[in-house]
Amino acid sequence: MSSPPKIHIERMMYRSSIAVAGESAASYALVKLIPAGGEGGVVGLNLALVLDVSGSMYEEDGTGISRLKRVQDAARSAIQKLKPTDSLAIVAFAHNAQLVLEPTELSDMAKVEDVILRIDMFDVDPGGTSMDQGIGTALSAIEANAGTGKLSQMLVLTDGETSGEQNCRTLAQQMAEKKIRLDVVGVGTEWNSSLIKDLARLGQGDWGYIDVNDVNAAARFFERKIDELAAAGFLQVEMHLRPMKDIKIKRVRQVVPEIKELATAEPEERHLIAQLGTLERDKATRYILDLSLPRRPDGKFNIATVEVSFDPGSGRRDTTGTVPLEVQYTSAGQGYINAEVARHIDEVQIFELNKNLQQAIATNNQQEAQRVAQTIEKKGEVMGPRAAKKTMLARQVLQELNAGGRVSKKTQLAMEDVSRLAQEG
């Protein structure tokens, strides 16, 4: 009999001790969540796949295989990893949208595979892209099939600009309220990256892209995504932070498995809740807290408590219990820096610099883009081998700026994708 799933909390400060010369000082804490037990995979998956079947999905991009065929093959291969009791709905969209597979358990794999193979045979007009209709149709199917202990998830793939952008945003917000996660993936480079990132943020999911010139990119993407969904062990995870008087928690960021800022709510004074979403049963996650600490006499102080609550797939919420976050004050001077925390802060800084770079490119401010790319390159060099990819892409940006004054969409996407990647350990 396997033990019930639990989450262990570890925490450490940026410095072994701090000295606050003025009224307050900035510092950081690293919180690690380590899952344990629950190997049985209690969580069921209620997944909807929303596929763009518009005319451009038939392009082969020099690979000899259409985009659609690559996506079909990748999806068919990856879903073999899901449990027979997991369910899948499929929506095809272009000018209009159609539910081509109602929520179906994967024990009926023959039926599921047949629909994936015939995705372009249904009554969908290929002349247009109405992603909002695709999302709306899939949302109805997911809601109808939702239930206790299920992870409800929508995965949307598109290769073009869409009509109904505002409607897409409204639907993404509704999904967040209904605890249905939205992941949006761009195929190629012709889609609206700011819209897709917006939808992923609103739908508390993720965004990604598939490089159409790489014949294996779709397969890699689907394999990674389905592995992640199959490993879901903790649903609707929340971190509760209760700082003591005069302590401020300014920001909460996830730094492993990838870097992203987390939305926080403050339902009552000195009680912050960060939504962590779904966590995998075999993968530790890490978070950096940005703190503002007041002056204190020398000694050890409890500055906040940390508690994590979650649904282990039973429909009932469980908790880690509260643990203290402590800081050693010493007026003699600052203590040594914890290398592990410092490494995550370096990566967060590159992530933030990359946002500035995207902004400079978007506003066609070439001078600023050049300056930021050079800063990223230098920072990457200091960070060594683990930032090699980030350094290489910063150089690519500089080369493209110097050659023609414009950075290609592909390089921008690669840069942004890599800036989110975090190093474990």
Reported as a pLDDT band with limits 50, 70 and 90, residue 203 is very high
**How many CB atoms within 10 Å of residue 159?**
24
pLDDT digits (tens, 9 = 90+) for 132-175: 999 999 999 999 999 888 999 999 999 989 999 999 999 999 99
Report, as an integer, the average pLDDT of 16-43: 88
Class of domain 6-40+233-337 (CATH, top level): mainly beta
pLDDT at 425: 46
What topology is assigned to 44-230 in CATH? Answer: Rossmann fold (3.40.50)
pLDDT at 68 over 90: yes
Average pLDDT of the chain, as a whole number: 93
pLDDT at 232 over 70: yes
pLDDT at 314: 87
DSSP-based helix, strand, coil % in the chain, nearest 5: 40, 35, 30
pLDDT at 230 over 50: yes
pLDDT at 39: 64
pLDDT at 40 over 70: no
Phi, psi of 105 (to 5 degrees): -65, 145
**How many CB atoms within 10 Å of residue 83?**
14
pLDDT at 42: 74
pLDDT digits (tens, 9 = 90+) for 360-407: 998 999 999 999 999 999 999 999 888 899 999 999 999 999 998 889
Is residue 12 left, alpha or beta, with left meaning phi > 0 and alpha meaning psi from -120 to 50?
Answer: beta
What is the chain's length? 425
pLDDT digits (tens, 9 = 90+) for 87-120: 999 999 999 999 999 999 999 999 999 999 999 9
pLDDT at 2 over 90: no
pLDDT at 121: 94
This prediction has a pTM of 0.93
Closest CA to 70 of 88, 55, 58: 58
The domain locations on the chain are 6-40+233-337, 44-230, 340-420
- Sheet with 97-105, strands from edge to edge, namely 97-105, 87-93, 44-52, 150-158, 181-187, 207-210
Reported as a pLDDT band with limits 50, 70 and 90, residue 226 is very high
Q: How far apart are the first and last CA of the chain?
A: 31
pLDDT at 423 over 90: no
pLDDT digits (tens, 9 = 90+) for 41-55: 679 999 999 999 999
pLDDT at 146: 93
Q: How far is CA 169 from CA 113, 197, 201, 204, 250, in A?
A: 31, 11, 10, 12, 27
Closest CA to 338 of 61, 7, 43, 32: 32
